[in-house]
């Protein structure tokens, strides 16, 4: 219910929302959890396994119980913590893991079956029959257990990712963090201050403390205002730093405020990668629940949460409240509750030596042994030395002490250290380079201590940055003693919950120990403790304390499991922000792209490039019709194809020739100016890396082409060879792939076409010649090279003219019964000629394998030459490039099929080779293939069996020379 | 992870392409023999501690950078341009 | 017959304006990569100074001014933007025409830095990346060049073929930044 008070809600701004279809009202500043409590709703969810009724336990991001689903359809988001979900007008939230309703959940029968469903029950119960596991047991269990569900639709929300840089990152804006930021900012640093809450202040927003003569929350607001005004501080609220990474890099998840996230173009979340010179971790601490029988009843909360709801949101989960704790925090709770006019029915202090000066029924050295009420707490049983007493309470504020948030200090392998004095783990100093821990995250639990510790951490960061600290006076704040009497689990019958979210009880952990899962890592996996969305924030330390007890070891010897990022759940959508649709990968478009699309060409991806598959004409209903026509068009008339996507590298310098000699198997330093040579590039291990042509444009000037696929790899390789192997060479190179739009013009009428375009004198090039030409006053380059086996040229113009030249070339080709051709035809043309692509030079073939052993010059060294000569790469029985033609009825020779001797069984031991490329050749009127066959060059004319197990093809084909059309190459040269 | 490119300064790891041990700088003579070449190409130490390896500033300036780092602590101890390191031994 | 007319990389794609930030294509007359030969940096710089009035830039810096600027463009390379390079430089450096290889976009307006923070991991803070500073870096998965040309103005370059992707990613980042206005 809502009570009077001066919280941080804005009562002038009412907000209506829906929970499970019912309309409720809250105020601006509320979370869904505080608004539900204000509306007397304590039951907010059902547990993972037993479907136990659950209420809100905490007031922060560690919340294990109050998880809801928001949004509908593609915008549906499961497992949203009601404790961090800001209320906004129109919010619709639904409870999870219940059917048909939250109040009446049929699956709650699981709770009655609890004796059979303890730790490891899957492993023990569903052993046989084996076949039942996948089809029956697993689906049934998955259906019965779990939290929220995904919609199954693609997420429609926008997510962002962004980078930020600062001198000092402060993680957490409680007193320690605020003061660390102040010290850093006053010293002139660029500061980023992150806090996962909507309002900076940390516990100051939840307590009734005085700092600097003001209410804590007011003081926090004044510090924030001062920091904002300084200009060198960036305050990022709603931003949880989720991981610490190498080199001062931190990951952070920002949830945008609902009113911002709803604007057009806005992201819902932003994933930040923050690079910081130094960082201060002031992430605070999380209060521990105590395990006792039925400690999961709605209405039982951590004491800090009870105070936060009371002081910040002015709500309470009941009028009668019992308080149970093992530090002075319990007394603080009583004071706050009584000051708000609420009735505290009992103060149960576990410390036998505790005294009390408050007007409240007080039980020292006592414990809560049971809770009554099913869907809501009704009473608690208090066990003292004198016996058991039952006391009415609708709400129990419990505190088992505080666990410092050491998580980020463990992300680079650090292990937290047990501190006996506070019965908690504290960070291992120096565990993350450049990260200084301050305040409650280091076990300093009073405000004055936190402020001083924030100063200390900031000054350590300043020193590391070589900067001078500024003189700033620390404000006055309250000091407090932290006197704890460790209580983990109250002895007794029944189930006492440790991990609320994964339904793990004290008994489950003890059972694990009995079954010899004594390591904390084994216990975790056996019981699933700590494996839900809260990652054990509420339960890890208590669970390992119970395990330590059960195994007769101490807590430090038992140790913790590994803390890994993220600190709070991060949706995959945020991590992969921007990668949906067009953001998945950049797209590269050629200058002829629009013209190709206008001609109806389906565009296919070639790396990041898009290239036309074929250019359909009226009446063509199948790609093969278009492809066959385009092949015949090139063979009979003339075709035009955009080859701009091939890598082009401009190479200049006195040592350009010597450099090419080093990277190519062939000799390029002797290539004549105005000539082009085919080159084969090897990896240092002797296998083929790439191929292409290189033209010598001048004495010290070459232009290399690479395949489309390997352009990036070749550039990296050239840089490697130059910088790491031959730095003495005076050579410079740069990519000119994008500078030139280049088009192949191929076919018997190619020369005629180019004569019209350029004039006869400019076209007069020998086969494998090149030169500068001019088209309409534009400087262009002409190469007489062919990848089709026809008389062919490639003409290159500065890319700005690419679109226009492509149109003109198409018009000129069409006037000669030719036209553009696409990738399909290009592929057929080259298979007919036995020209290789990366289908053949796939990383496991040598120059000799593809019949180019003779191209490895004997006169010089080159990359890959020494290793190409090693035994195994040079012997005769390797698989060699061959052509294949079908002989039998079946005319398919699919790429990927394997080759066997005729009559041999089609099994791995008999494998003789495989098919790499295949097409229907209109020129040969046959299906053709290229492939590799053991000792293939000596086997031309042989019959081999071809089997494709995947596609069910089994046929006989004849081994041929890879060049199956125009064997002497006369068409190219004439 | 951050790598300091000797030319560009401290940069995000995503700008770099990783290729392996800095042994790559010491290409043997062509006639050095199978064993030496086998070592050069295939055999690598796997130190728990300081290692030197090659990173290419692919989305940056195009430099090959020799990075000395600790595989246990992930600390980057130093960086140098490969062309300057060439011949100093791996 | 089709006229051989020139088309800029950003034709039909740029300019656009979102939330007061503009993305406009720039079309310098020429762009030339200048890569001094081994040990010839001083001569190349002197020749650049003599011909175009600016020295070769140091790593991460640019020289010259709007209309005629030389950017450091990677290892051993500067990019002269604006004037057609004087042939005299060819004695000391490899000269390569890059006029058509890149799309050049000027991103300008309050919040332009926030837009870039969504596209590049570079540290572009006011005091770190000052006017005239330049960097080669990642720009939304593309290899790019970023130069600060004014208090709120940045020149960004990626390969010509990426023009549409650049526009798409800029658009998305600009909308995200614009939506946060006042937040």
Which residue, A719, A695, A699, is CA-closest to A654?
Answer: A699
By mean pLDDT, which of A67-71, A125-129, A524-528, C39-43 is the weakest?
Answer: A125-129
Residue A125, pLDDT above cutoff 70 = no
CB contact under 8 A, A800 and C172: no
- pLDDT, position A156: 87
Which residue, C94, C104, C114, is CA-closest to C183?
Answer: C114
Q: What is the mean pLDDT of chain A?
A: 95
CB contact under 8 A, A587 and C38: no
Structure tokens at A861: 């060294």
Q: Report the share of chain B in percent with pLDDT over 70.
A: 96
Which residue, A574, A569, A445, is CA-closest to A84?
Answer: A569
Q: Rounded to 5 degrees, what angle do the CA atoms A784, A789, A791 make?
A: 40
- pLDDT, position B89: 43
Residues A35 and A129 occupy one common structural domain: yes
Does A163 contact C at CB distance below 8 Å?
A: yes
Q: Is A878 helix (H, G, I), strand (E, B) or coil?
A: coil
- pLDDT, position C130: 98
Which residues on chain C are in Cβ contact (under 8 Å) with B62? 74-75, 136
In 3-state terms, chain C is what percent helix, strand and coil (to 5)?
A: 25, 35, 40
Residue A132, pLDDT above cutoff 80 = no
Structure tokens at C136: 């080669």
Which run of H or E residues covers position A34? helix A32-38
Residue A556, pLDDT above cutoff 90 = yes
* Residue A244 located in a structural domain: yes
- pLDDT, position A142: 67
Predicted complex: ipTM over 0.85: yes
CB contact under 8 A, B9 and C143: no
- pLDDT, position A387: 94
Residues A136 and A183 occupy one common structural domain: no
B 50-69 near C (Cβ less than 8 A): 58-63
Residues A222 and A259 occupy one common structural domain: yes
Chain C residue with Cα closest to B83: C75
Selected residue of B61, B62, B80, B82 to mutate for chain C interface (largest C Cβ count, 10 A): B61
CA dist C15 to A534, C8, C177, Å?
A: 47, 12, 18
CA dist B36 to A776, A867, B32, B88, Å?
A: 58, 11, 6, 18
* Residue B12 located in a structural domain: yes
Q: Is the peptide bond before A129 cis (omega within 30 degrees of 0)?
A: yes
- pLDDT, position A133: 67
Residue span of the structural domain in which A936 resides? 876-974
Please report, for the domain that includes residue B68, its CATH number.
3.30.2270.10
* Residue B15 located in a structural domain: yes
Q: Report the share of chain A in percent with pLDDT over 70.
A: 98
C 42-71 near A (Cβ less than 8 A): none
Q: Are A847 and A855 spatial neighbours (Cβ–Cβ below 8 Å)?
A: yes
Neighbours of chain C (3+ CB pairs under 8 A): A, B
Residues A727 and A784 occupy one common structural domain: no
Which residue, A523, A573, A578, is CA-closest to A545?
Answer: A523
- pLDDT, position B85: 87
Per-domain residue ranges for chain C?
16-27+101-179, 30-97
pTM of the model: 0.95
- Arithmetic mean of pLDDT, C102-108: 98
- Partner-chain residue, chosen from B2, B31, B82, that has the shortest CB–CB distance to A249: B2
Q: How many structural domains is chain A composed of?
A: 6
| Separation in Å, CA of A234 to nearest CA in chain B | 21
CB contact under 8 A, A160 and C176: yes
Tens digits of residue pLDDT in A201-256: 999 999 999 999 999 999 999 999 999 999 999 999 999 999 999 999 999 999 99
Residue A11, pLDDT above cutoff 90 = yes
Residue span of the structural domain in which B28 resides? 2-85
- pLDDT, position B90: 37
Does A412 contact B at CB distance below 8 Å?
A: yes
Helices (H), A326-479: 329-339, 447-464
* Residue A856 located in a structural domain: no
Please report, for the domain that includes residue A706, its CATH number.
3.30.70.1400
Selected residue of C3, C5, C6 to mutate for chain A interface (largest A Cβ count, 10 A): C6
Does A811 contact C at CB distance below 8 Å?
A: yes
Does B2 contact A at CB distance below 8 Å?
A: yes
- Partner-chain residue, chosen from B2, B27, B37, that has the shortest CB–CB distance to A248: B2
CB contact under 8 A, A412 and B62: no
Residue A20, pLDDT above cutoff 90 = yes
Residue A113, pLDDT above cutoff 80 = no
Residues A641 and A651 occupy one common structural domain: no
- Partner-chain residue, chosen from C37, C173, C176, that has the shortest CB–CB distance to A266: C176
Q: Is the peptide bond before C15 cis (omega within 30 degrees of 0)?
A: yes
Q: How far apart are CA A653 and CA C39, in angstroms?
A: 13
- pLDDT, position C50: 97
By mean pLDDT, which of A297-306, A559-568, C10-19 is the weakest?
Answer: A559-568
> Which residue, of A441, A464, A487, is where some domain finishes?
A464
Tens digits of residue pLDDT in B9-50: 999 999 999 999 999 999 999 999 999 999 999 999 999 999
Domain C16-27+101-179, CATH among 3.30.1360.120, 2.60.40.420, 2.70.98.50, 3.30.70.1450: 3.30.1360.120
Query: In the β-sheet with A732-735, what is the strand arrangement from edge to edge?
Result: A676-682, A688-698, A701-706, A647-652, A732-735
> Which residue, of A735, A754, A773, is where some domain finishes?
A735
Please report, for the domain that includes residue A625, its CATH number.
3.30.1360.120
Residues A700 and A792 occupy one common structural domain: no
Chain C residue with Cα closest to B64: C75
Chain A residue with Cα closest to B30: A866
Does A229 contact B at CB distance below 8 Å?
A: no
Q: How far apart are CA A893 and CA A908, in angstroms?
A: 19
Which residues on chain B are in Cβ contact (under 8 Å) with A247? 1-3, 10, 13, 74, 76
* Topology match between the domains C16-27+101-179 and C30-97: no
- pLDDT, position A944: 97
Which residues on chain B are in Cβ contact (under 8 Å) with C74? 60-62
Which residue, C9, C157, C8, is CA-closest to C71?
Answer: C157
DSSP string, C36-69: EPTT-HHHHHHHHHHHHS-PPPPTTBEEEETTEE
CB contact under 8 A, A725 and B31: no
Tens digits of residue pLDDT in A272-288: 999 999 999 999 999 99
Please report, for the domain that includes residue A970, its CATH number.
2.40.30.110
| Separation in Å, CA of A409 to nearest CA in chain B | 14
By mean pLDDT, which of A80-94, A137-151, A322-336, A518-532 is the weakest?
Answer: A137-151
Q: How far apart are CA A68 and CA A526, in angstroms?
A: 27
A-B contacts (CB, under 8 Å): 70
Which residues on chain A are in Cβ contact (under 8 Å) with B10? 247
Which residue, C116, C118, C175, C166, is CA-closest to C146?
Answer: C116
Tens digits of residue pLDDT in A672-721: 999 999 999 999 999 999 999 999 999 999 999 999 999 999 999 999 99
| Separation in Å, CA of A855 to nearest CA in chain B | 18
CB contact under 8 A, B61 and C121: no
Q: Is A482 helix (H, G, I), strand (E, B) or coil?
A: coil
Q: Is B11 helix (H, G, I), strand (E, B) or coil?
A: strand
Residues in C whose CB is inside 8 Å of some CB of B read 59-60, 74-75, 121-123, 135-138, 143
Q: Rounded to 5 degrees, what angle do the CA atoms A586, A589, A592 make?
A: 175
Q: Is A21 helix (H, G, I), strand (E, B) or coil?
A: coil
Does C38 contact A at CB distance below 8 Å?
A: yes
Residues A91 and A130 occupy one common structural domain: yes
Tens digits of residue pLDDT in A166-178: 999 999 999 999 9
Q: How far apart are CA C177 and CA C183, in angstroms?
A: 10
Buried b (16+ CB within 10 A) or exposed e, C26-44: beeeebbbbbbbeeeeeeb
Residues A130 and A39 occupy one common structural domain: yes
C 67-96 near A (Cβ less than 8 A): 76-77, 93-94, 96
> Which residue, of A681, A703, A735, is where some domain finishes?
A735
Tens digits of residue pLDDT in A817-866: 999 999 999 999 999 999 999 999 999 999 999 999 999 999 999 999 99
Q: What is the mean pLDDT of chain C?
A: 97
Which residue, A826, A838, A354, is CA-closest to A634?
Answer: A826
Residues A622 and A748 occupy one common structural domain: yes
CB contact under 8 A, B19 and A245: no
Selected residue of C76, C136, C139, C144 to mutate for chain B interface (largest B Cβ count, 10 A): C136
| Separation in Å, CA of B50 to nearest CA in chain A | 16
Q: Which residue has the higher pLDDT, A115 or A469?
A: A469
CATH superfamily of C30-97: Heterotetrameric sarcosine oxidase (3.30.70.1520)
Residue A124, pLDDT above cutoff 80 = no
Which residue, A62, A121, A55, A67, is CA-closest to A93?
Answer: A67
| Separation in Å, CA of C84 to nearest CA in chain A | 14
Q: Rounded to 5 degrees, what angle do the CA atoms A496, A500, A504 make?
A: 60
* Residue B90 located in a structural domain: no
Selected residue of B6, B28, B56 to mutate for chain A interface (largest A Cβ count, 10 A): B56
Structure tokens at A530: 């700590």
A 773-792 near C (Cβ less than 8 A): 775-776, 778
- pLDDT, position A126: 63
- pLDDT, position A853: 93
Q: Is A797 helix (H, G, I), strand (E, B) or coil?
A: strand
A-C contacts (CB, under 8 Å): 156
Selected residue of C75, C79, C96, C117 to mutate for chain B interface (largest B Cβ count, 10 A): C75
| Separation in Å, CA of A560 to nearest CA in chain B | 21
CA dist A735 to A651, A678, A805, C95, Å?
A: 9, 19, 22, 12
Contacts for A95 with CB less than 8 Å, ≥ 6 apart:
A19, A20, A44, A45, A46, A68, A69, A102
- Partner-chain residue, chosen from C37, C118, C159, that has the shortest CB–CB distance to A162: C118
Neighbours of chain A (3+ CB pairs under 8 A): B, C
CB contact under 8 A, C137 and B15: yes
């Amino acid at each position: 219910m809502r009570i009077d008070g001066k919280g941080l809600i804005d009562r002038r701004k009412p907000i209506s929302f829906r929970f499970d279809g019912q309309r409720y009202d809250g105020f601006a500043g509320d979370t869904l959890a505080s608004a539900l409590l204000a509306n007397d709703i304590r039951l907010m969810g059902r547990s993972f396994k037993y479907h136990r009724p659950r209420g809100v336990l905490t007031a922060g991001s560690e919340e294990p119980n109050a998880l809801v689903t928001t949004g509908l359809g593609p915008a549906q988001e499961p497992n949203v913590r009601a404790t961090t979900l800001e209320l906004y007008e129109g919010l619709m939230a639904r409870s999870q893991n219940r059917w048909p309703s939250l109040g009446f959940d049929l699956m709650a029968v699981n709770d009655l079956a609890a004796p059979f469903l303890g730790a490891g029950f899957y492993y023990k119960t569903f052993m046989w029959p084996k076949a039942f596991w996948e089809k029956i047991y697993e689906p049934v269990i998955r259906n019965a257990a779990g939290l929220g569900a995904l919609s199954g639709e693609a997420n429609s929300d926008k997510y962002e990712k962004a980078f930020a840089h600062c001198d000092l990152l402060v993680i957490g804006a409680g007193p320690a963090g605020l003061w660390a930021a102040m010290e850093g900012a006053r010293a002139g640093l660029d500061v980023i201050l992150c806090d996962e809450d909507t309002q900076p202040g940390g516990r100051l927003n939840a307590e009734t403390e005085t700092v600097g003569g003001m209410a804590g929350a007011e003081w926090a607001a004044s510090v924030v205002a001062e920091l904002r005004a300084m200009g060198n501080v960036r305050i990022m609220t709603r931003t949880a730093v989720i991981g610490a990474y190498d080199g001062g890099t931190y990951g952070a998840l920002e949830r945008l405020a609902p009113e911002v996230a709803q604007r057009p173009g806005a992201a819902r979340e932003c994933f930040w990668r923050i690079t910081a010179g130094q960082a201060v971790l002031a992430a605070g601490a999380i209060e521990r629940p105590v395990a006792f029988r039925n400690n999961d009843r709605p209405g039982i909360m951590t004491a800090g949460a009870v105070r936060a709801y009371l002081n910040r949101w002015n709500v309470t989960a009941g009028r009668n409240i019992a308080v149970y704790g093992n530090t002075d925090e319990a007394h603080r709770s009583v004071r706050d509750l009584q000051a708000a006019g609420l009735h505290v029915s009992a103060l149960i202090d576990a410390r036998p030596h505790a005294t009390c000066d408050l007007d409240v029924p007080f039980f020292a050295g006592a414990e809560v042994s049971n809770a009554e009420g099913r869907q809501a707490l009704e009473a608690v049983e208090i066990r003292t030395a004198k016996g058991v007493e039952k006391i009415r309470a609708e709400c129990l504020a419990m505190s088992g002490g505080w666990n410092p948030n050491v998580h980020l200090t463990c992300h680079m392998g650090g292990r937290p250290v047990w501190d006996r004095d506070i019965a908690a783990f504290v960070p291992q100093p120096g565990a993350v380079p450049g990260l200084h821990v301050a305040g409650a995250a280091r076990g300093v639990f009073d405000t004055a201590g936190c402020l001083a510790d924030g100063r200390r951490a900031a000054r350590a960061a300043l020193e590391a940055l070589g900067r001078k600290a500024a003189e700033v006076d620390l404000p006055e704040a309250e000091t407090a003693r932290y006197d704890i009497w460790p209580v983990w689990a109250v002895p007794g019958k029944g189930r006492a919950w440790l991990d609320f979210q994964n339904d793990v009880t004290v008994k489950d952990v003890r059972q694990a120990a009995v079954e010899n899962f004594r390591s904390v890592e084994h216990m975790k996996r056996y019981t699933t403790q700590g494996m839900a969305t809260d990652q054990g924030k509420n339960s890890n330390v208590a669970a390992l304390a119970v395990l330590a007890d059960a195994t007769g070891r101490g807590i430090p010897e038992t140790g913790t499991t590994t803390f890994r990022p993220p600190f709070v759940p991060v949706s995959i959508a945020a991590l992969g922000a921007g990668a949906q649709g067009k953001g998945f990968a950049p797209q590269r478009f050629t200058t002829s792209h629009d013209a190709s699309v206008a001609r109806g060409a389906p565009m296919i991806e070639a790396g990041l490039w898009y290239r036309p598959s074929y250019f359909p004409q009226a009446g063509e209903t199948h790609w093969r019709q278009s492809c066959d026509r385009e092949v015949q068009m090139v063979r009979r008339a003339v075709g035009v194809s955009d080859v701009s996507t091939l890598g082009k590298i401009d190479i200049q310098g006195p040592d350009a020739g010597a450099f090419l000699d080093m990277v190519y198997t062939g000799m390029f330093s002797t290539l004549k100016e105005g000539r082009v040579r085919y080159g084969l590039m090897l990896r240092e291990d002797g296998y083929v890396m790439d191929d292409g042509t290189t033209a010598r444009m001048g004495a010290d000037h070459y232009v290399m082409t690479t395949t489309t696929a390997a352009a990036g790899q070749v550039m990296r390789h050239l840089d490697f060879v130059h910088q790491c192997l031959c730095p003495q060479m005076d050579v410079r190179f740069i990519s000119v792939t994008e500078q030139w739009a280049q088009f192949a013009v191929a076919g018997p009428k190619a020369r005629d076409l180019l004569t019209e375009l350029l004039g006869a004198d400019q076209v007069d090039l020998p086969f494998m010649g090149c030169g500068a030409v001019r088209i309409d006053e534009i400087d262009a380059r002409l190469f007489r090279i062919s990848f089709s086996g026809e008389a062919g040229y490639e003409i290159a113009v500065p890319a700005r003219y690419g679109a226009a030249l492509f149109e003109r070339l198409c018009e000129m080709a069409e006037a000669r019964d030719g036209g553009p051709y696409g990738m399909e035809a290009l592929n057929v043309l080259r298979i007919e000629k036995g020209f290789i692509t990366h289908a053949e030079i796939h990383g496991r073939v040598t120059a000799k394998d593809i019949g180019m052993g003779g191209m490895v010059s004997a006169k010089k060294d080159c990359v890959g030459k020494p290793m190409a000569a090693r035994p195994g790469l040079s012997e005769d029985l390797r698989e060699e490039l061959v052509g294949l033609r079908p002989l039998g009825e079946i005319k398919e020779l699919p790429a990927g099929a394997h080759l066997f001797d005729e009559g041999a069984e089609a099994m791995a031991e008999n494998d003789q080779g495989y098919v790499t490329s295949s097409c229907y050749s209109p020129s040969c009127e046959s299906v053709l293939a290229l492939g590799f066959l053991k000792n293939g060059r000596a086997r031309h004319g042989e019959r081999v069996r071809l089997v494709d197990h995947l596609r069910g093809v089994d046929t006989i084909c004849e081994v041929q020379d890879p060049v199956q059309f125009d064997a002497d190459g006369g068409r190219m040269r004439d | 992870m951050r790598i300091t490119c000797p030319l560009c300064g401290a940069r995000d790891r995503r700008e770099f392409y990783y290729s392996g041990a800095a042994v790559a700088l010491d290409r043997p003579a062509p006639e050095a023999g199978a064993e030496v070449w086998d070592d050069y190409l295939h055999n690598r130490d796997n130190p728990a501690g300081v290692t030197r390896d090659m990173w290419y500033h692919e989305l940056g300036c195009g430099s090959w950078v020799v990075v000395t780092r600790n595989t246990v602590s992930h600390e980057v101890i130093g960086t140098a341009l490969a062309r300057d390191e060439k011949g100093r031994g791996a | 017959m089709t006229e051989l007319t020139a088309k800029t990389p950003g034709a039909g794609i740029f300019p656009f304006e979102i939330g007061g930030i503009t993305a406009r294509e720039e079309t310098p007359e020429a762009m030339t990569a200048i890569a001094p030969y081994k040990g010839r940096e001083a001569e190349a710089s002197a020749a650049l100074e003599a011909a175009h009035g600016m020295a070769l830039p140091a790593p991460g810096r640019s020289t010259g001014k709007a209309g005629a600027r030389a950017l450091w463009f990677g290892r051993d390379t500067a990019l002269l933007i604006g004037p057609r390079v004087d042939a005299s430089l060819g004695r000391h450096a490899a000269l390569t025409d890059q006029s058509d290889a890149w799309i050049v976009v000027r991103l300008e307006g309050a919040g332009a830095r926030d837009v870039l923070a969504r596209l590049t991991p570079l540290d572009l803070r006011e005091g770190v990346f000052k006017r005239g500073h330049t960097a080669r870096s990642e720009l939304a998965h593309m290899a790019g060049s970023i130069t600060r040309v004014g208090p709120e103005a940045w020149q960004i370059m990626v390969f010509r073929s990426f023009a549409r992707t650049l526009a798409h990613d800029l658009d998305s980042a600009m909308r995200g930044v614009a939506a946060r206005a006042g937040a």
